[in-house]
């Protein structure tokens, strides 16, 4: 079980998210379609202030922060205060707080909390993955044709460059060979739903470390696999494409991804 003090802090932050979900929001733009609200900022400030007191030897890297990264400190906490801000703004309940603890480029603790649906996912290295204290496992689906996948599309789609074409091509390549593909709009929850066996596989381009830092460990501790598009170990601050699965269909997913466009790290 995760640190009780940390859990209390995250549950309190969840109250801010849940309160904001019901209210009108002040919306700003980080890009043409990339949104941020006052609740993203409020939650991140709340979490940063509380967590740095519990874990003073870790550097905190938040989505809405411009804090300088200490390259000499291998202990990092990645915070996404609201993963799925567009869903949050539009009243779609797939939005969550995501917090990942990493040390020496390895995940140690992962927490994804959706207070709207009361889903608290967490994992600790070597201790299994859990949803609300019940252990979860990936599916045993062994056929791509019988699989339900999830994916997402990058904000850079508005430029219709290589990112856009790779995502559309990969989606088009793989869709006919699956039961179906979903797009929920929250990478952290996509990974958690894979970990609990709802999805069988997942792929996406252009995610940031805070989007996947918690979900990666939750998938791994539930028996799943994580890699880049070549099947190699996913490097959280370098690789631009992530592939996740129940392990049984991992290579099948990779085989369908677009190889005509080279995505540079």
CATH number of the domain where residue 180 is located: 3.40.190.80
Last residue of a domain, one of 88, 107, 136: 136
Region 212-219: what's the mean pLDDT? 98
Q: Are residues 30 and 77 in the same domain?
A: yes
CATH number at residue 79: 3.30.540.10
pTM of whole model > 0.85? yes
- Per-residue pLDDT band for 183 (boundaries 50, 70, 90) equals very high
Q: How many domains does the chain have?
A: 2
Q: Are residues 31 and 62 in the same domain?
A: yes
Last residue of a domain, one of 84, 107, 136: 136
Q: Are residues 112 and 149 in the same domain?
A: no
pLDDT digits (tens, 9 = 90+) for 125-161: 999 999 999 999 999 999 999 999 999 998 777 777 8
Query: Which tokens belong to 103?
Result: 């040390």
Region 219-230: what's the mean pLDDT? 98
In a domain, 88, yes or no: yes
Pairing of strands 59-62, 35-37: unpaired
Q: Are residues 199 and 249 in the same domain?
A: yes
- Per-residue pLDDT band for 85 (boundaries 50, 70, 90) equals very high
* Domain around 244: 144-256
pLDDT at 263: 85
pLDDT over threshold 90, residue 26:
no
Last residue of a domain, one of 102, 119, 136: 136
């Amino acid at each position: 079980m995760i640190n009780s003090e940390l859990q209390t802090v995250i549950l309190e932050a969840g109250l801010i998210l849940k309160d904001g979900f019901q209210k009108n929001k002040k919306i700003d733009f980080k890009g043409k379609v990339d949104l941020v609200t006052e609740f993203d900022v409020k939650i991140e400030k709340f979490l940063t202030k509380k967590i740095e007191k519990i874990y003073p030897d870790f550097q905190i890297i938040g989505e809405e922060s411009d804090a300088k990264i200490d390259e000499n400190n291998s202990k990092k906490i990645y915070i996404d205060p609201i993963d799925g801000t567009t869903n949050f703004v539009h009243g779609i309940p797939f939005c969550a707080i995501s917090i990942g603890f990493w040390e020496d480029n390895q995940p140690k603790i992962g927490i994804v909390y959706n207070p709207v649906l009361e889903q608290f996912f967490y994992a600790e290295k070597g201790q299994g993955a859990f949803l609300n204290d019940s252990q979860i496992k990936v599916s045993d689906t062994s056929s791509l044709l019988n699989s339900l996948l999830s994916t997402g599309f990058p904000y850079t789609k508005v430029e219709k460059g290589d990112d856009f074409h790779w995502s559309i091509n990969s989606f088009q390549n793989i869709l006919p060979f699956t039961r179906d593909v979903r797009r929920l709009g929250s990478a952290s929850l996509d990974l958690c739903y894979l970990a609990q066996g709802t999805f069988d596989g997942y792929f996406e381009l252009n995610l940031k470390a805070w989007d996947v830092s918690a979900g990666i460990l939750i998938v791994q501790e539930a028996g799943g696999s994580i890699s880049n598009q070549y099947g190699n170990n996913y490097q959280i601050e370098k690789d631009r494409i992530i592939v996740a699965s129940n392990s049984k269909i991992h290579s099948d997913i990779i085989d369908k991804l677009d190889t005509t466009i080279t995505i540079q790290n």
